Amino acid sequence: MPPSLRLRKPLQRAVRLGHPWIYRDALVPPKHAPPPGTVVDLLDERGAFIARGFFDADGPIAIRILTREDEPVGPALLAARAASAAGLRAAILARLDTDAVRLLHGEGDLLPGLVLDAYAGVGVVRFDGHGARAFYRPHVETIADALRGFPLGPIHLRGEETLRGPLPDEIVIREGAARYEVDVVRGQKTGFFLDQRENRALVAMHAAGASVLNLFGYTGGFSIAAALAGAHDTTTVDSARPALAAARRNLRRNRLDEGHRLVAADVRELLATARRTWDLVVCDPPSFAPSAKALPAALAAYRELNRAAASVVAPGGLLATASCSSHVTPAAFQAIVAEALALAGISGRILAVRGAGPDHPVPPAFPEGRYLKFLLVATST
């Protein structure tokens, strides 16, 4: 029998609906906390079993729920979850022209705390916290082998080793007509922002003939998608020089030799001193709200950033703006963008409300899982 932990808050309903997290302050503090990754039973306030998951000793989330049944949570269950995730991806990929996909999206694939991205046959794994690492690490290869239809060569564990290595010298993925190199070892997150795939396509749809400013451009994803769709020129801004060096190689790889600038700068400083406007401005900053406590300051920062970004949109142009903070709700983000436009003295209309693509599934009872918000706003002349 796994050790058990008892709820002190009435969360049975949320758990029954499929919310996968139990915060530490919702539990009766255990006398002896189990080591990270230990399988634990969650009991209600009266001591009845409600779910089984694994424990984490640090961070606000104490338990990630794996099942609400009294069943073993070993390799067979994990392989079944991975097989189901692969089935979902096969259906999605049938209508996408790419070899880069998120195969396991943690909570959305009922494997909370585990991400596995595939880049042209190379797997990259990220564990969300020590508990997830300790729980999943012994089963990574079992899980990968269960991803039927998605054979993986090397599997790189971020910050650690590469299983079934070595990694190829260069990993280049395909997304429609675009080719992007992905640095799975030193790149951000797992190397590439797969969650913006559909939004790159949306930006591309509006890019023909446009001058494009790509703020927080990383390795040039939005710029290259826009340029291949006929953008007149692009300016990619990021403070990370290695990302811009990769963007330069990506431009060349896609034969985009002229009209594309790369600027190593702090976005806020660039916007403060910009003396021109662009037809299409993309704004995809890092998360400003790492915790719920940081939310008020983060909302103010998003407001100011979007005000400044809107101010460099040419009259009648487009602002494509994103927030990847799970603490900012879609409604809060839309309100912030409305305030930012008002502060800039611009009126706008939302043309599209988007998020991450379908390889980033989210349980309906888990609004925190909809971390990526993306609005396409037309400004009025």
Ligand X SMILES: C[S@@+](CC[C@H](N)C(=O)[O-])C[C@H]1O[C@@H](n2cnc3c(N)ncnc32)[C@H](O)[C@@H]1O
For ligand X, the closer of residues 52 and 200 by Cβ is 200
| Spatial CB neighbours of 117, under 8 Å, sequence gap ≥ 6 | 100, 101, 102, 103, 123, 124, 190, 191, 192, 194
243, 289, 312, 336: which one binds ligand X (CB under 6 A): 243
Q: Segment contacting ligand X (CB under 6 A): 22-30, 90-98, 284-292, 334-342?
A: 284-292
222 touching ligand X, by CB under 6 A: yes
79, 139, 181, 196: which one binds ligand X (CB under 6 A): 196
Pick out residues in 106-135 that bind ligand X (CB under 6 A): none
Residue 37, by phi and psi: left (phi above 0), alpha (psi -120 to 50) or beta? left
Note if the bond before 315 is cis, omega within 30 degrees.
Answer: no
In this structure, what token pair is assigned to residue 18? 């499929």
Amino acid at the residue 35:
P
Q: Are strands 49-55 and 61-67 parallel, antiparallel or unpaired?
A: antiparallel
Is-catalytic flag, 283?
no
221 touching ligand X, by CB under 6 A: yes
Distance CA 313, CA 308 (A): 9
| Spatial CB neighbours of 46, under 8 Å, sequence gap ≥ 6 | none
In this structure, what token pair is assigned to residue 223? 């710029």
216 touching ligand X, by CB under 6 A: yes
150 touching ligand X, by CB under 6 A: no
Asked if residues 279 and 318 have their Cβ atoms less than 8 Å apart, the reply is yes
For ligand X, the closer of residues 140 and 267 by Cβ is 267
Name the phi and psi angles at 173, rounded to 5.
Answer: -105, 165
For ligand X, the closer of residues 20 and 191 by Cβ is 191
37 touching ligand X, by CB under 6 A: no
Kindly tell me the burial class for residue 15, based on how many C-beta atoms sit within 10 Å of its own C-beta (0-12, 13-18, 19 or more).
Answer: buried
Distance CA 56, CA 154 (A): 28
The nearest distance, CB 232 to ligand X, in angstroms, is 20
User: Going residue by residue from 311 to 350, which x/- string records binding to ligand X, judged by CB under 6 A?
Assistant: -------------x--------------------------
288 touching ligand X, by CB under 6 A: no
For ligand X, the closer of residues 67 and 287 by Cβ is 287
Nearest to 53 by CA among 97, 18, 102, 99: 18
180 touching ligand X, by CB under 6 A: no
182 touching ligand X, by CB under 6 A: no
Asked if residues 357 and 195 have their Cβ atoms less than 8 Å apart, the reply is yes
For ligand X, the closer of residues 30 and 176 by Cβ is 176
56, 109, 181, 238: which one binds ligand X (CB under 6 A): 238
Active-site choice (82, 324, 337, 375): 324
Q: Segment contacting ligand X (CB under 6 A): 124-132, 165-173, 217-225, 288-296?
A: 217-225
The count of residues interacting with ligand X (CB under 6 A) is 20
Q: Segment contacting ligand X (CB under 6 A): 32-40, 239-247, 253-261, 334-342?
A: 239-247
Distance CA 323, CA 333 (A): 7
The nearest distance, CB 100 to ligand X, in angstroms, is 12
Q: Segment contacting ligand X (CB under 6 A): 34-42, 116-124, 233-241, 364-372?
A: 233-241
355 touching ligand X, by CB under 6 A: no
Q: Segment contacting ligand X (CB under 6 A): 4-12, 91-99, 278-286, 300-308?
A: 278-286
Name the phi and psi angles at 102, rounded to 5.
Answer: -80, 115
266 touching ligand X, by CB under 6 A: yes
For residue 75, what are the CA distances in angstroms to 72, 111, 135, 139, 144? 9, 12, 11, 6, 11
In the complex, which residues of this chain contact ligand X (CB under 6 A)? 188, 193, 196, 216-219, 221-222, 237-240, 243, 266-267, 284-286, 324
Which residues are designated catalytic? 324
